[in-house]
Structure 1
């Protein structure tokens, strides 16, 4: 990581005074170090170079856009996630009350809403319309997966005189935002593109956590608790829970810590074999008479053989690891003549559709506000992040360069092994 990797693009000079009053403004020079341990910073100091750091988010005294003539747009893409409506509401209310922006359009059903071919008329978002949506799950604007023609989407922004586009979504959405920002740059247009990281999987790089993740972990406790109750209520009882996590196992790992009745945690970053898992499961049942297994949806994909293709967002399609484990565990114990009572729980869509928890709601409110502050200051091609306990500005190309994953040698996974008591190797 180099200091220049953290630089944020700007549309131009800020020459309008902010209409906000009674707030603590953030200077453009304020930053938070990327590294938080001296041993990581020391090499930069020895070379006399600046350690990498992120700009700290917050309202600026001088802004780029004239609020009286500004129109903004909001789009939500990808899978549903707790907190989407909270972010929409926060953006609209901040634009209206903090900056006196009067026109905010919501584009329906993801990036389809920016393509006239789908005939999705934009929704005018007012404080009255969004007033109570934070109490509801889902997205007021709807969502969809998959890309649209970049030039067509930018044409739509130009035709509607949009000055700031707020994109709420995960990795695929943010990659689309980069393409939109690049096309805007090629045309030399004064349009800002600001991303807000939405992914239950918590897999966006250089961001401590994304909204919806905390709610997902909290809601997963109902499923792991139920699995434990069912398991201990039967002889040789097994509770099997499949949670979200396509490429990263943060939800499964955190769920195992949140309810430490979990005995086996399987995540995409740590390989296992059926032979190894079944061997340890059988040993556990002989020893204790019950077991709870939590598996991330992207775990064990090597067990499905050939590639399953890609979905509309360009992500590889996954085999259903929960169903495979359910059937293989039952088959194994049946063939060995051993009694088994297995209950399988998949709460994925129930969790995705929940309203945000209190913590996530507060987090979403701040994300929405900081996104507005960044856009009004003329920043672009960036996502609002959270790093070392501060809200930050992160270049979208940096955030999407790789996926954040659980480190099999890191402290989180070490804590999971300590909490579950499972073998470090299930091969």
Structure 2
């Protein structure tokens, strides 16, 4: 890996000269860094050359801030699909802005980036500590969400009219790309607007971020589906439980749902191709040996086995075929031709998983992400996303975060553990 590929420098609007009003906590050293690599052998090339190993800025409150809290307003927008913890993050940002810094005006832009376009007629909500006091108890987002890009110039004009100094953009890859364009447009106009991303994707697929909020809750909910599939499969001879989980290009939910209870016999993810005939033959051997089987498939797996849809969604992503339905029909047809009677139960809990409130660990994670985002924004940082890396909260340039999609490495310990737990054969 080239050194130039790991430039974690964070853009700033200017010098921090205002004493922070935050009281009763320890301020972070502005030079604090968190190592990117955790293994000595990965750092060795930098050490051999006498260069410091790649490291991210450590997140946290600064003793001096850039913005005068009495003179700015802030904005929050949520984009893309819903995810456990969205309301927790909104609440954490509002409470931190109000109680830590004394910011009096916080706007919530409705229905994603569309809410930042004045001509679309979606006036923002004014968010106060009272209005957000109980929102963490419900799923979804009180602001609403949407997919698809909007014109950066129109969005920055709205921010300028409302005198917004910091925009918090909560979302995944597409949302962060939009946030980057907003930051660039504000810079082009010479406006001092900080744009801070908070990584939200149920698929946990944003690069340089170990875990995104809502992922743990999603895996916990997925466990209910795999448990039900296993219970059904145990209850009848030659019974199959087939569960489709979210994971468009990255199969992290599917992989971790396998590790939760060791009930799953086949895990199919986008990162590891498989042949249909190889899979079906392995499934038949499993039934002959054990009389039941549980299969977990991520939504993006096996797309090469199906006809292309030729369509795109509002975010510009190619619409995928439904691998769950495809496998259900393929399994039924295969065993019918083999004259082997089976009992197949198909479970698709996708929207149930993403609509629930955050579990306790995710709720605490959301609080810390929101607070870290506020501290970063008040210090004048911009065009960045709050990250969690090597057990610490950090800052990552949006450019790096969207440079590639994080995926399961088929050679990793994670995938090796999945193979060990399922016992599935090589089906390529």
Q: Deviations over 1:292-350 (max 9, x none)?
A: 00000000000113353221112121110000000110111111111110000000000
The alignment partner of 1:75 has SS state of: strand
Q: Within 5 A, what are the aligned runs for 1:8-19?
A: 8-19=10-21
- Distance in 1 between residues matched to 2:51 and 2:349, nearest whole Å: 49
- Pair 1:35 & 2:49 matched: no
- Distance in 1 between residues matched to 2:307 and 2:204, nearest whole Å: 27
Moved more, 180-189 or 303-312: 303-312
- Pair 1:176 & 2:178 matched: yes
Alignment counterpart, residue 165 of structure 2, candidates 159, 163, 177: 163
Aligned to 2:108: 106
- Distance in 2 between residues matched to 1:50 and 1:312, nearest whole Å: 43
The alignment partner of 1:46 has SS state of: helix
- Distance in 1 between residues matched to 2:342 and 2:120, nearest whole Å: 51
Q: Deviations over 1:11-44 (max 9, x none)?
A: 0000110001110110110001111111111111
TM-score, with length taken from structure 2: 0.98
- Distance in 1 between residues matched to 2:45 and 2:409, nearest whole Å: 23
Aligned to 2:134: 132
- Distance in 2 between residues matched to 1:138 and 1:22, nearest whole Å: 33
Shift of 1:46: 1.4
Shift of 1:58: 0.1
Aligned to 1:243: 245
- Distance in 2 between residues matched to 1:319 and 1:297, nearest whole Å: 9
Aligned to 2:374: 372
Q: Within 5 A, what are the aligned runs for 1:171-250?
A: 171-250=173-252
The alignment partner of 1:224 has SS state of: helix
- Distance in 1 between residues matched to 2:367 and 2:129, nearest whole Å: 14
Confirm or deny: 8 A CA contact 1:91 1:371 kept in the other structure: yes
Shift of 1:117: 2.2
Aligned to 1:414: 416
Confirm or deny: 8 A CA contact 1:110 1:143 kept in the other structure: yes
Confirm or deny: 8 A CA contact 1:308 1:319 kept in the other structure: no
Shift of 1:7: 0.1
- Distance in 1 between residues matched to 2:31 and 2:64, nearest whole Å: 13
The alignment partner of 2:259 has SS state of: helix
TM-score, with length taken from structure 1: 0.99
Q: Deviations over 1:140-163 (max 9, x none)?
A: 000000000110001111111110
Shift of 1:45: 1.5
Confirm or deny: 8 A CA contact 2:12 2:382 kept in the other structure: yes
- Distance in 1 between residues matched to 2:310 and 2:26, nearest whole Å: 52
Aligned to 1:270: 272
Aligned to 1:299: 301
- Distance in 2 between residues matched to 1:94 and 1:222, nearest whole Å: 35
Alignment counterpart, residue 89 of structure 2, candidates 84, 87, 90: 87
Aligned to 2:262: 260
- Distance in 2 between residues matched to 1:285 and 1:218, nearest whole Å: 27
The alignment partner of 2:130 has SS state of: helix
Q: Within 5 A, what are the aligned runs for 1:47-66?
A: 47-66=49-68
Structure 1: which 4+ aligned runs deviate by more than 4 Å? none
Shift of 1:122: 0.3
Q: Deviations over 1:258-296 (max 9, x none)?
A: 021100000000001110110000000000000000000
Confirm or deny: 8 A CA contact 2:166 2:377 kept in the other structure: yes
Confirm or deny: 8 A CA contact 1:381 1:395 kept in the other structure: yes
Aligned to 1:324: 326
Q: Deviations over 1:369-408 (max 9, x none)?
A: 0000000000000000000011000000100000000000
Moved more, 39-48 or 387-396: 39-48
The alignment partner of 2:399 has SS state of: helix
Runs of 5+ in structure 2 lacking a partner? none
- Distance in 1 between residues matched to 2:286 and 2:30, nearest whole Å: 57
- Distance in 2 between residues matched to 1:159 and 1:249, nearest whole Å: 42
- Distance in 1 between residues matched to 2:111 and 2:316, nearest whole Å: 18
Aligned to 2:427: 426
State how many pairs are aligned: 426
Aligned to 1:121: 123
The alignment partner of 1:334 has SS state of: helix
Aligned to 2:154: 152
Aligned to 2:384: 382
Aligned to 1:315: 317
- Distance in 1 between residues matched to 2:308 and 2:286, nearest whole Å: 32
- Distance in 2 between residues matched to 1:343 and 1:235, nearest whole Å: 13
Aligned to 1:355: 357
